[in-house]
Each structure stands twice: as structure tokens, then as C-alpha cells.
Structure 1
Amino acid sequence: MIVRGSVPSLIQGISQQVPSLRQPGYLDDAENMYGTIIEGLSRRPGGDHVTTFAGLTNPVAHHWFLRDANNRFKIVVDGGQLKIWDFNGSLRTVTAPDGWDYISGASSLGFVTIKDYTFIWDRGKTVQMTTDVEPQENSAAVVWLRQGNYNTQYTVNVGYPANAPTWYSASYITSATDSGTIKLTSIISQLYGSLSLPAGFSKGYVNNSLLINRADQQDFIVTVSDNATGQDIVAVRSSVEKTTDLPTIALVGQHVTIKGDLTSDIDDWYARFVPTSPTGTGLQPGGWQESAKPGTSTTFDASTMPHVLTFNADGTFTFRKATWGTRVAGDETNDPKPSFVGAQITDIRAIKGRLGLLTSVGTMVCSRPDDEFNFWIKSAQQLTDGDPIDIAPDYPKSFVLKGAAEFQAGLVLLADEVQFLVTDGGTFGPLTVATKPLSAYNLQVQNGLLPLQQDRIVCALKRTNSTGLQSFLAPTGSLASMVFDEASAEVPTLLPGNVEWIAGSSTENVVVIKVDGDSNRLYVYKESTDSGKVIQSAWIPWRFINRTPIAGTFIDADFYVVLRDSNNVYTMERYSLRPFERDQITWPIYLDRRVALTTDAFTAVGGSTTVTLPWTATLGEDVYYVPTQGPQAGAVFKASAKGPNSATFPGLFSGPGVVGVGAPSFATVGTLYWRKYIMGGGIENVTNGVLQILRGKVSYAESGPFFINVIHTDRADPFQELVGVPLFGDGGYQSPLDLLGGSQDFPVGQINDRVKIQFSSGESPMPMRIGSFEWVGDMNLTARPL
């Protein structure tokens, strides 16, 4: 019986699902195509040549620095140094006052720009502390008077050595009536004068404070007493029980421990005496400032920590060590070294107003919110929400955190094997932050994590020999209701190898992935939704002839990509994904390496014209020229010869126009099935019997000449039908053509699973926009294929 089928559009991209289970609209194969709900299935956009990176030879790491519309830069590591080009191709000056050792010896570099700094870190570098410690000042004692009383004996006892002391004492008794004797300076001076100490000691006094010291740092004991209140005289040696025991005149740099609970050290804190005069030495008036415990390490080794790149007002850049905060309080009990010390830093992110460092030991360390370079507590007296965060998610298997994603609703930490939800009770601080497992997808986080919208991230999936794409969506504003969706379920093996880099546009809902198993292709994922429901989920690769995409990024709907050609020349191109973009001739010119040429780029010799180019076409690249003004506007010239930075075309012309290289496009329709309604609702593919496709019909719009290829799998040569006129029938020149629209019938004459129907641009740089597809077949429900 005669049956018919139709496919409203072919925008669903490639599917590797079993053909009989597919929904209509998927393709068996495609290349250099791009489908949207608005325009249907079209050729992918052509690429505008932006610049050539002169002098770039062997880049090992890349970063995009996009400050604003006037300051856009490509940063690369080449030859052990940073090289930075603006989008005009100018190489900017980069100074490195601390040298290039950190970069030149790096095993794997990471980059992130946060505010005014681009942080650069070596994932293989172990973070260390320097030998700097809080100074030891344990050789001094200060005896001081709170008040003087009448008829009171004040005594100072010095025992030395501390482990088997001999005692040296001085006493003074004030008068019962003479007010001069109870002055603090009088009492201290009398004690100073009568205290006789052995060799090695020194003493001095100022106002109400008496200093007793040993230059050799040997330990000794000091006790004091008075027979009035018992509180008039105080000895401060190495510790006190309360801050009211501290004098206002003491030895500059003297340290003391303020004991909290006398049975435990956990709530101890430390103070250092700071003089009122910045240049004061010895016994001076001043005050006590909280400090780290004497002998405790205080300083990160900046040569092992992330470095920073800054953009200067004069347009130059500076690469240097960062200035990190030092430990100013506590000890290894109440302010231990951050967990990244002794570990490697795997990722850096801005996290809820803090600088967040992820580590090889599975921890997240966040700076203080008021100082992104400080990872130490402000005070050991009390932990606050403004102190750093250092947390290790609990999980029964080992893992390395490699990425963090901040949703509008919260924070997710990602390892390759497991992902965690971070909770904080509304206040992101060390007292409230906690984690719990969220999912356990097998991801490629380091190169494959991409925040796409405020409520969505995507990340490359790790398969045995291929890459996929996993989506994390929090549509309700709550991470507890996270929606997980694999965007690559239809193409489990399409992307060969592991992810090298990923880029995406939130405005166009597009993700671009480069994998290491395919040097000349990018895999482009396009998604469209309606009221939260996905109505398009399409994968189609883009191929670049003899060129390798090295790095890419989006600026709104513009995709910028750095490509290395077979001559080891690096260039950058821009691909606009904005719908309905047109060139001056009213249709888009589908060429890569596109350059708009003016009259001074043309040289006419004999019957041909040579065009000067900013690049050299490689073997396999065909060069075309399309005039955009004058009577030849819309004509197409194909180069008859290619040279270094030039191409020669038949005919005489002088511009203006567009020149570029071809990017042939094709789309192959999947196996066709007759679909019928089933009881209970729904539609299914009919797979019993034999379906012979008799004819097909394709609708198209705004298209130049293109081919319909009917490929019989049991025949060597396909049947090919040209829609429109043949190109280049007259020596590499095609006169201007009008765009076509309508429909085209073509014969098929083959069983459905033994034929492929393909739409191909050939070598045309003109549009090809495919709409719906229909077919007529003969269905025999009882027959079986031979």
C-alpha cells in the first residue's frame, strides 16, 4: 500500500540511537550545519578573520581576558613566558619582575580572571610555607605596679636558672604617712636599685614598669608580692590569665600568652607589645596587639602560590607573585595552616564574595570576604563569619575537587567522581558551611566545566572512549530540587576522546566542545526550550580544513576561536550565531577566514586578478571571492592559484568584496519509517514488513544551488540531483544568482534502511536552508527483506 511520511524540520541534529526508535527530525550525519527553531536547518555561519598571532609558535596554555568592549585580549603561554595579543593583533608588553620560573616549569596551568586580577596557578605545584615565624621573645619579664599603698612591702624575686633556681630578691616598704613613697615611680626605682642580678642579666625601668632581661634567651623565673591587696604588683613573663594583667609600658616585641581555660590550650591566644612610637625600642609606652604564637610559621611561600597578572593603565601587563596575607593570630590548634599547604591547587573560583581554592586533598578553602588574599583568621579569641572557610566534604571514596559552580540558589563542588551540595544556612561562613553528596556522575571537570546560566551548569561526561555532556539545572531556585539531564544521550560515541576545552553562549543556548580524538572538528550543541520543556537538542560537528581549533570563547552571540593551520600559523576568527545575519549582498557568505577587501588589495595582470590576503591558504583549502558592490555583487570567483598571502582569480575585478575559504556542508537524513497511531494514544514507527521509499520532496528557502544525494548502500555511486544551476561552469566564475525558495521532488527507489538522503552545499559559498521533508513509499506489511 502507498504510505506517506513527513518531517516538519531537520533541526534535531545527529542521533546515534537505533533508527527504528528515533523520533523524526534527527540526522544520521551532518557537518558544518546549524539548526534553529527560527531559521530551520542551515549552513553554519562563516568565520570572519579577526587577526593573526605573529610570533606564536607553541602555545601550551590559553586564557581569554575580556574586560570590556575596548579591552579584549588573548593570553597564551609560549616559550615559558606569557604572550598577550589584543583583538587587533597587537602584541602587548608583559613585564615579570619576579621572573618566569613559575610558568616555565609548570606541568599544568590554570587561569581565572576575578575583578582586577587574573590568577595563574600550576596544578602540579605543591604549596609551601617560608621559614618566617612569629619572633620568639621569651627572655624578658616586666614587673609593673597598678597602685601604691601606705605601709606596704613590695617584693620581686628572680630565680635562675629556671630548672634549679638560685633566688635573687629585692624589697621595698612604703611609709605609713609619706605620700612620696607610694608614688609608682618611687616604688619601681627603689626595687630597681636594690635588685642585684648575676651576670647575663640586664634591667631597666620606665615610670611604673621594671624590665628584667637576658640577652642569651635562657629561661628564668620572676615572682612578685605585696602585703596590701596582693594585686598591686604584677609580673608578666610569658603568660597572663587576663588582659588586665598586661602593662602599658613593656619591652617592644615582647610576647605573652593569654590563658583562657587553664586546663586546656585550645582557647589560648597571643599578644605582642607594640610601642606608641613606631621607632621605639626597649622599654616603651604602647599597647598589646594580638599575634600568632611565637615560633609559629606565618607566611606562604609566594613562589609556590598562584601568581597574578594585572592590566595596567598604560595598556601593558605585569606578571608577578601575589602578596598574600600572613598569620596574625592563633596557633596550629585554633588557626591551623590552610589545607592547601602541602597540597596542590586544582582550581580557583570567586565563591560568594571570597577567593575560593580547591585542593588535591579534596578540600575547599575560601579567603576572608574582606580580603581575597588572606586565608588566616582575624583573631583567635572568637571565630566569626568573616573568617576563612576550610572544609572537606565527607565521602567514603577518595576524590579530588576540580571545580566549583555558584548557582543563584547555592554552590556545588565538583570532582570527577562525585559532586557535592554546599549548604550554609543563609550565611556563608566557617560556622555554618556544610556539604553533602549531590550526585556521582563520571565527569571531566578540569577542562569541561561551564556555567551556562544563573540556574544551570554543564560539564563534560567521561565515557570509555568518548565525551558526553551532563546538565545540572536548578529551575525552582533550590539546589535541593536539582534536575539532572544528559544532553548527549542521543550521541553516546559522537565526540571521540577526552574534552580539551569547552565554551558556551547563554544567549543562544549553545555549547561548543573540542575533544582530543578529533583534531579538525568542533562539536556544537544547540538547545531550545519552550516553557521549560526542551524542544531542540541538537549535535552537529563543524569541520575546519587542515586547521585545528586551539581555544574558543563566546562574547554574547559571537564565537571567537583560535585555529592553527598546517603551516603552524595561528589565527583568530569570529562566528556570529545571531539569526538572520546578512552580508551587503543580502545573503550570508558561507566562507571561513573571511576578509572584507578594499580596492588596494587587488592587482590585475592579464586576464586575472591577484588578491593580497592576511593569511596563506593551506593545501586542501579552496579560496573564493564574492564582490559585495557593483554590477558583479553576488558573483562567485574561485581561485585558480594560491600563493603565500595571496590568491589569483580568473577575470578582472577591483572590489570591494569578501574573500575566504570554503567550508562544505551536508546533512544526511536518518532512516525513514512509516509512523502510525497506536491504541491508547501515541505514535510508533512500523518496523514489520518492507518499506520502499519511492520519492522524496524537500522544501527550502533562501538557498543557492545545492545537491540532493540519494545514496544507495548497495551501490557505489549515489544518484545526485542539483537544485539550481551548476556553479563555475565558465572557468571558475559564477555570475550573480538569485536565492531560491520552494520545493524539489526527487526519485529514491530503494528500501528504507538501504538508502541515505543527503543535502549538500558542494563547493558553493551560498546559503542552503532546508525546511521540511516529505516522502512517498510502498509499504508491504507481510513481506520480509531479502
Structure 2
Amino acid sequence: MGIVSRAIPTLLRGVSQASDSSKQADHADIQDNADSNPVVGLIKRSGIQHVTNLSTATLGNVHIQTINRDATEQYVAIFSNGNVKVYELDGTEKTVEKPDGTTYLNTTNPREEIKTVTIADFTFVVNTSSITAMDTTLSGGTGTKAIIFIEQVSNNTIYTVTVDGVTVTDNTSSDSTLSTSGVANDIANGLASGLTGFDITRNGSVIYVRKTDGSNFAIDGSDTQGNTQLSIVKDSVQRFTDLPTVSPNGYIVEVKGDDQTNFDNYYVKFVTNNGGTFEEGQWEETVQAGIPFKFDSSTMPHVLIRQADGNFRFARVDGDTYTLSGTTYTLPVWTERTSGDVISAPDPSFIGRKINNVFFFRNRLGFLADDNVILSNVSDFFNFFPDTVLTIVDSHPIDVAASHTKVAILKHAVTMGEQLILFSEQTQFILSSSADNLTPLTANVLVATEFESSDDAPPVGSGSSIYFLTKKGAFAGIREYITQTDVTLKDASNITIHVPRLIPSNIFKLAVSNNQDILVCLGTDTPNKLYINRWLYGTQGQKVLNSWFTFTINENRSIKNVDFIGTDLFMVIEEANNVTLEKLPFESDYKEANATFEYHLDHKVTESEITVAYNTLTKKTTFTLPYRLRATMNVVGRYISSTETSTFIDLNGTTQSLKAGTIIKTTNLTDGSTTTIEANGDYTNAKVIIGEPFEMHYRFSKQRITESPTQSSAEIISSRLQLHHFYIKYEMTGFFKVEVTPEYRDTSTHKFSGRLLGAASSAIGQINLASGTFRVPIMTRADRVDIDVKNITFLPTLLASAEFEAMFNMRSRRM
């Protein structure tokens, strides 16, 4: 066929580990520290900016919660074995009051066993190894009592009351005046004279009977009017209307109901009008006497509260009080069981079990325990009991189980609009409603999809998608569960199907940016590496970009946590005896202050964030950084504003201007033993950016010729493709080099430095960013050469597209 050429329109598709014959031309074999930005192209990733130091001691195994309270207040809370610390994003450690201690946080694996969710100023903290329990305190009102109620009185009627074998009667046939209180008075006097060890008290037509030692006794009563005028109330009544309006204060009675009522038995307590011990009052619904009625707050989830003074308090939810600046504040308390019994108002299903996770859904606090999902009262996050058992109210707590033939221990819950997606290790469920509102009567859990998932990393939601982790032996994968209200068929596609060996198995954190459409995976196997997915949806919901690549930092540093705040990825990074908070910007056109581009350096600081000192004896400047050095650092002159000057004094005593982009010749140890960098001369007035260089690395996939340029077209394998040249289109680029490594031959390197002969931007002493096409000679077979693009300088690289020119020969003609 002779000389041919083929375009590679973009370099955005990311890494593919499929066979060379099935890869697309814009797939990469390696893409590290290069971002597939759909707006601008393939670019060297942004540098990581040092924000602050958090600790001088290593963290170890910790759970980290980023608290994004509002635009001006963000915090990092670090939960370790038996402790919690909170920092502002500027590194200021906040005071954490711990009135109940931190025993609840005792765990050898906080990363996996501590779960948190933040709602306003409250961060709910769950230790999944702790078994919840009810408090051993029993509800009051257990003393045995009885009341005798003379409801009516009529002539020629005999009223009889028997208490522990002592019978008293009153016959109204000889009474000149009939009254209920008169009959009650005669019976009360008779009982008082006939019984010992009893207290007999009368108020109007009601007699209060109890033993002085509180023990049980027998009582019965009757009248000769068909037992319609005298009633005995002891422990229970059939109907609420059988109760008098006078009774002992706090007396609890069970109302059993009958066939005509629409409710089961319930309990009422008498509350006197004026607080007296035996007077008129009202009956109020209450809880059965003598049963556990409140949670053991030491076993229940605790709260980390931002106080009014800006500090924090880690405490039980027990209603304790504290004082700040003369003002008394009260902690929330888990609402007690105030009605019914253990059957009509049962313990929440998490009692006696371990809580697997905590979440927030439809203005309810939620817990997962075994196969149950439990939601609090609406807008009452600390209440998991109904306030009445007479009727089911829409706002009452919800407690439903996920029924399935497989074991369905619920591990995670993700809110997607009005849906709650629940995850077990083998199945995904939806908490749905059979009506418009989610209520205790309408709530049910339905199977959505059946894919294996790992509970090592909590799933995350973005838009209408949920991303969750799966295990594949020594490697991990990510599935995307898409929620669409108008689609009945649910699916979770494998978005790592073309990179089966990219992500290691021990991933513990997923973070997602809704602004930038980015998913970040962090694991323990390679803690200095982030696994990044960029996606882009086109028209009609079609995914047009699913790009995987990696970001790598110095191997002596470990990333302990990642979370997005806006377009910035905040990272907690640990190295020996030092923990830092740093951020990685993902905005499409990030620039340094006063500059038109970014300095691509990690752990970046400026001269204002460090100490710069000059020694007149040695004539050396020492830059002292806030972290230990693990690589040869770059100290580069930065762009300045119109009100700034940037100068240095050389060894000859001459003051010179430090031009932006000038790399100062420095020395520093790289073993982590020091935080200092030295330079000859006086740079105390120099305006610089200091950071650690990192290498961008992009390797083209093996190029091939197909019958047509379409993705589904088959490769022509009975041919030879001999590459002549590669053409790489770049934009606003300062440097990159292309390494060509033919099989069994030495590597040839071709550098682009931004200086083009005759270009106006090629003036000496200034940074030159150029756009154009870079031609690279290959001169070898396409299937036997590696073509790598690298950049370890601080200068930007932006690659828009590529094209190759080759000799293509076929041994036969296709039919």
C-alpha cells in the first residue's frame, strides 16, 4: 500500500490493559501524573499544594472525616484507637472536650470499624464493633395499687368490696340521701378498720388502695345492679371510659381494648392537675411499668459537636449540660420509649446488635444493623420510638428488613435523590415506598441488582450514578450503578472492564467530584498512588469518556485520606514523624498567582510560608520548609505583582533581579532527615515557589491499521506497519521529551523545550510556552516499539492529539 498516515484525534481515553489488537489508538499503556481533561486535552497534572502540618507523629490506622460545614469553615477530624482530634484546614488544632472519655472509640482498626456522617454541627460516630444495649433502668409505676370507683348509686343496692379476704358491704336501702361519695366513704372506712398493712385513701367517689410495703394483693368488687355502678381498677381496664377523673398521681393502667376498638392494648398514666398525690387530673398515654425504656448511651453512637465557641465536644447522647461564657448548653439525648410495651413499641432492631453504618435520608437519621435499615422520626434524629401506639403516624420511625434468599447483611447506604440504595456483599437494594410518602406502613426494601461488592470502601454517588468497589482476587474493580426513576431495569456496569489489573485490591476510600466528574480511589497496597477515573456523558445519556489513569507521589509518603471540597482534592499525607494536609486542584485552567500557567511541583510552598535565612559567614541562604525532604527540590522564581520586587545578591555582592521561572541552584538531603535547602547567595528578598518535581509519563498503545478508522473495525493482521514518524500536537507547552525504545535496541530521546527558532517567544531569560506540532522519528515496526512522553520539569505539558506516518505493506489483496 505504501506510505500511510492515521490521526489519533485525542489522547484522553486513558489506560487500557486489553490486548493490543483490541485497544484503540488513543488508549495508553501507561498514563501516570497525566490528566485526561476533556476540556483542554492530556495535561500534566496539577502540583500538590502544601496546606499545613497536622502532626509530628505518624497516624497509623485511622478513620478521617472531612467536615465541610460551610464555605468558611472546614475541618479534618481524625479518629484513632481511643482518641479523636480535629484540625482546621490551616492546621490549627481545635480543642475537643471529652466529658465521657473515649472508650467508645477503642478499636484496633478504626479505618474499617469507625463510621461517621455529618449533619450540620453534629457528626454522628459509630463504632461498628460495639454492641448496642438498653439501659438496665426500668420504667416507673411498678408498685401494686388499686382504685375503687363508685360510678353511680341507686336505692336498694348492695355494694361489695373484698380485699385480701376482708369483705366490706354497703346497702343503700336505709340511706336517706344517695351519693357516690357517701358509698365510697362507708366502704373506705370499712376497709380501713378491717385491714392491716394497707393505706386506704378516699377522694370523692374514688378509693385508693395499696399495701404499705408495695406488695401485691387481691381485690374484687360487685354491686346488685349488674355490676354497672362499681368498678375496680387494678393494673388494667377493658375500656378507657372505665377510668375515673380522680386517681393517684403517676398511676399506670393498661387499657386492653375490645373487639370494637381498632387498636391493641396500651398504657395510660394519671397526671394530677396540681401535682397532688391523689386528686383530679387527666390520663395520658405512657409506657408499660417495669420494662427497659431507654438506650444505654455508652453503647450507642456518640456525637462530635461543634460548640458555639468553635471548639468541639465528643460525648454520649445523654442530655448532659455544659457551660460556655456563662451560657448553658444541653446535649441531645436519645428519646426514651414513652408509650406502649416491648411488643407494641418494640426496641429498634439495632438493639443487641452491632450497627454497621450510619447515614442521613429524607430528614431522618438512619442506621444499618444486620439485614435491617432503621430510620429515626422525621426531623427528630435522636428518636427511634413512636410517641403513640394508638395509631401509626407518617413521621414515626421506620424499621424494615431486606429479605432475600442470600445472606443480606447491609453494609452501606447511599442517598440518590428520593431513593436510598442499600448495599450488602452480594446484592443491592432500594428502600422504596408503596405510596408517595415514605412511612412505616409504606416502606419496603426491594432487590435492585445482584452484584458482588466490597464493604472495604463506602460507595459514593455523583449525579444519577453510584460507584462501588468489587474484588477480583489481587485486584479491584469499580461498578457504576445508574439510578433512573423512569427505568425499571436496573444495572451496574463494570467501568474497569478494560483495566482488570490496574487497581489493587485493598482500596479503602472512594472520593468523587460532582463538579469535575472525577472518581478517586485510594488503597493501602500503594498508598502513594491515586487511581483516577474521568468520565463524560454526551447526548442521550451516552458515556463518551471513561478514562482511567494514576497519580503518583513520592514513594516515601503515604496518602491516608482524600476528600473533595469544591474542585480541590484535600489529602492527608503521612511520612516518618510528620503528617500534612495538602490539596490537589482539579479546575481546568489553574494558574499560579500573577502567572499564565501553573508550576507543576508537589508539596508547593512560597517564600511567605517558610523561613528564609542568610548566613553572612558562609554566604549561603537556608530555606526551611514545613516538611521533611524526600527528593531534590526545585526553588523557582515566581511571577510577582506590580507592588512586589524579587531580587537576590550573588556571591560577588551584586544585587540582581530574579526572573520568573529561574531555577535557583540549590542542594538538599533527600533521606527525610532535614527540612532545609541551601543556596549560594542571599535570597532573602527573592519571591519563589518551592516544590518537589514529579514525572508525567504517557505511553502510547501499539499502533495498528484497521480496515476502517471506526472502533469496531478489525485489525489487518496479515501486514507490516513500519512507523516512520510520530507527530504530536501540543498547546501552551513548556517542555516534554519523547523516548522511543525499539525492541532489543537502545532508547532514543527527543526533547521539546518550548524554544522554536525565530519565534517571538524564544527570548532568552523567559519561560516560553509554545503551541505547534513536534515530529519524532520512530523508524521501526509499530508492534515492537514503546513510545513514551515524559516531563519531570515544573513546566506544563498539554498534548491535544497525535498522528503517525508509516509504511504499510500487505502480502495479499483482501477479497
Instruction: Give the corresponding residue for 1:525.
Output: 533
Displacement of 1:138: 5.2
Please tell me the residue identity of whatever aligns with 1:334.
S
Displacement of 1:536: 1.4
Please tell me the residue identity of whatever aligns with 1:766.
L
Which residue of the other structure, out of 305, 312, 315, is the alignment partner of 2:310? 315
1:314-353 equivalence runs, <5 A: 314-322=309-317, 323-353=333-363
* 1:378-417: CA deviation from partner (whole Å, max 9, x where unpaired): 2222223222111111111113101112222422111121
Kindly indicate whether the alpha-carbon contact (under 8 Å) linking 1:138 and 1:238 is maintained by their aligned counterparts in 2. Answer: no
Which residue of the other structure, out of 609, 625, 630, is the alignment partner of 2:636? 625
Q: Does 1:113 align with 2:144?
A: no
Q: In angstroms, what is the RMSD of aligned CA positions?
A: 2.5
Q: Does 1:595 align with 2:591?
A: no
Displacement of 1:665: 0.8
Displacement of 1:136: 5.0
Which residue of the other structure, out of 373, 386, 397, is the alignment partner of 1:364? 373
1:124-203 equivalence runs, <5 A: 124-137=129-142, 139-158=144-163, 160=164, 166-173=165-172, 178=176, 181-195=177-191, 196-203=193-200
Which residue of the other structure, out of 88, 97, 100, is the alignment partner of 1:98? 100
Q: Distance in 1 between matches of 2:487 and 2:158?
A: 71
Q: Does 1:615 align with 2:604?
A: no
1:430-445 equivalence runs, <5 A: 430-445=440-455
Which secondary structure state, in structure 1, belongs to the residue aligned with residue 21 of structure 2? helix
Distance change in 2, residues 1:370/1:75 (3 Å): closer
Taking structure 2 as the reference length, the TM-score comes to: 0.88
Which secondary structure state, in structure 1, belongs to the residue aligned with residue 356 of structure 2? strand
* 1:191-224: CA deviation from partner (whole Å, max 9, x where unpaired): 1112244333221111221011123444333232
Kindly indicate whether the alpha-carbon contact (under 8 Å) linking 1:420 and 1:435 is maintained by their aligned counterparts in 2. Answer: yes
1:661-700 equivalence runs, <5 A: 661-677=692-708, 683-700=713-730
Q: Distance in 1 between matches of 2:720 and 2:212?
A: 104
Instruction: Give the corresponding residue for 2:799.
Output: 770
Instruction: Give the corresponding residue for 2:749.
Output: 720
Displacement of 1:339: 1.1
Q: Distance in 1 between matches of 2:491 and 2:402?
A: 22
Q: Distance in 2 between matches of 1:374 and 1:197?
A: 49
Kindly indicate whether the alpha-carbon contact (under 8 Å) linking 2:754 and 2:769 is maintained by their aligned counterparts in 1. Answer: no
Could you list the runs of 5+ residues in structure 2 that have no partner in the other structure?
318-332, 641-645, 647-656, 756-763
Q: Distance in 2 between matches of 1:138 and 1:14?
A: 75
Which secondary structure state, in structure 2, belongs to the residue aligned with residue 212 of structure 1? strand
Kindly indicate whether the alpha-carbon contact (under 8 Å) linking 1:409 and 1:478 is maintained by their aligned counterparts in 2. Answer: no
Kindly indicate whether the alpha-carbon contact (under 8 Å) linking 1:587 and 1:767 is maintained by their aligned counterparts in 2. Answer: yes
Distance change in 2, residues 1:335/1:621 (3 Å): farther
Displacement of 1:495: 0.6
Q: Distance in 1 between matches of 2:229 and 2:587?
A: 83
Comparing 336-345 with 53-62, greater Cα deviation is found at 53-62
Instruction: Give the corresponding residue for 1:39.
Output: 40
Q: Distance in 2 between matches of 1:448 and 1:590?
A: 31
Kindly indicate whether the alpha-carbon contact (under 8 Å) linking 2:636 and 2:660 is maintained by their aligned counterparts in 1. Answer: no
What percent identity do the matched residue pairs reach?
Answer: 25
Which residue of the other structure, out of 401, 406, 417, is the alignment partner of 1:392? 401
Comparing 371-380 with 219-228, greater Cα deviation is found at 219-228
1:180-259 equivalence runs, <5 A: 181-195=177-191, 196-228=193-225, 230-259=227-256
Q: Distance in 1 between matches of 2:490 and 2:666?
A: 54
Which residue of the other structure, out of 477, 481, 487, is the alignment partner of 1:472? 481
Kindly indicate whether the alpha-carbon contact (under 8 Å) linking 1:627 and 1:636 is maintained by their aligned counterparts in 2. Answer: no
Taking structure 1 as the reference length, the TM-score comes to: 0.92
Kindly indicate whether the alpha-carbon contact (under 8 Å) linking 1:223 and 1:235 is maintained by their aligned counterparts in 2. Answer: yes
Kindly indicate whether the alpha-carbon contact (under 8 Å) linking 2:375 and 2:397 is maintained by their aligned counterparts in 1. Answer: yes
* 1:406-448: CA deviation from partner (whole Å, max 9, x where unpaired): 2224221111211112221211111011122111111123523
Please tell me the residue identity of whatever aligns with 2:346.
P
Comparing 593-602 with 283-292, greater Cα deviation is found at 593-602
Please tell me the residue identity of whatever aligns with 1:759.
V
Displacement of 1:288: 1.8
Displacement of 1:608: 4.8
Q: Distance in 2 between matches of 1:265 and 1:300?
A: 30
Instruction: Give the corresponding residue for 2:389.
Output: 380
Q: Distance in 2 between matches of 1:663 and 1:473?
A: 36
Q: Does 1:705 align with 2:702?
A: no
* 1:87-112: CA deviation from partner (whole Å, max 9, x where unpaired): 11111111111111111346521111
Which secondary structure state, in structure 2, belongs to the residue aligned with residue 186 of structure 1? helix
Kindly indicate whether the alpha-carbon contact (under 8 Å) linking 2:25 and 2:702 is maintained by their aligned counterparts in 1. Answer: no
Please tell me the residue identity of whatever aligns with 1:645.
T
* 1:283-304: CA deviation from partner (whole Å, max 9, x where unpaired): 3332222222223221111111
Kindly indicate whether the alpha-carbon contact (under 8 Å) linking 2:170 and 2:183 is maintained by their aligned counterparts in 1. Answer: no
Could you list the runs of 5+ residues in structure 1 that have no partner in the other structure?
161-165, 727-733
Instruction: Give the corresponding residue for 2:325.
Output: none
Kindly indicate whether the alpha-carbon contact (under 8 Å) linking 1:203 and 1:211 is maintained by their aligned counterparts in 2. Answer: yes
Displacement of 1:24: 2.5
Displacement of 1:358: 0.3
Instruction: Give the corresponding residue for 2:268.
Output: 271
Instruction: Give the corresponding residue for 1:501.
Output: 509
Q: Distance in 2 between matches of 1:315 and 1:651?
A: 45
* 1:678-734: CA deviation from partner (whole Å, max 9, x where unpaired): 99x96333233222212111111111121111122323x3111111279xxxxxxx9
Distance change in 2, residues 1:334/1:636 (3 Å): same
Kindly indicate whether the alpha-carbon contact (under 8 Å) linking 1:192 and 1:204 is maintained by their aligned counterparts in 2. Answer: yes
Q: Distance in 2 between matches of 1:538 and 1:185?
A: 89
Distance change in 2, residues 1:217/1:260 (3 Å): same
* 1:51-70: CA deviation from partner (whole Å, max 9, x where unpaired): 00134432522111110122
Which secondary structure state, in structure 2, belongs to the residue aligned with residue 699 of structure 1? strand
Kindly indicate whether the alpha-carbon contact (under 8 Å) linking 1:410 and 1:479 is maintained by their aligned counterparts in 2. Answer: no
Kindly indicate whether the alpha-carbon contact (under 8 Å) linking 1:56 and 1:78 is maintained by their aligned counterparts in 2. Answer: no
Q: Distance in 2 between matches of 1:649 and 1:534?
A: 51
Please tell me the residue identity of whatever aligns with 2:307.
N
Displacement of 1:471: 1.0
Q: Distance in 1 between matches of 2:456 and 2:262?
A: 41
Which secondary structure state, in structure 1, belongs to the residue aligned with residue 457 of structure 2? helix
Displacement of 1:175: 5.3
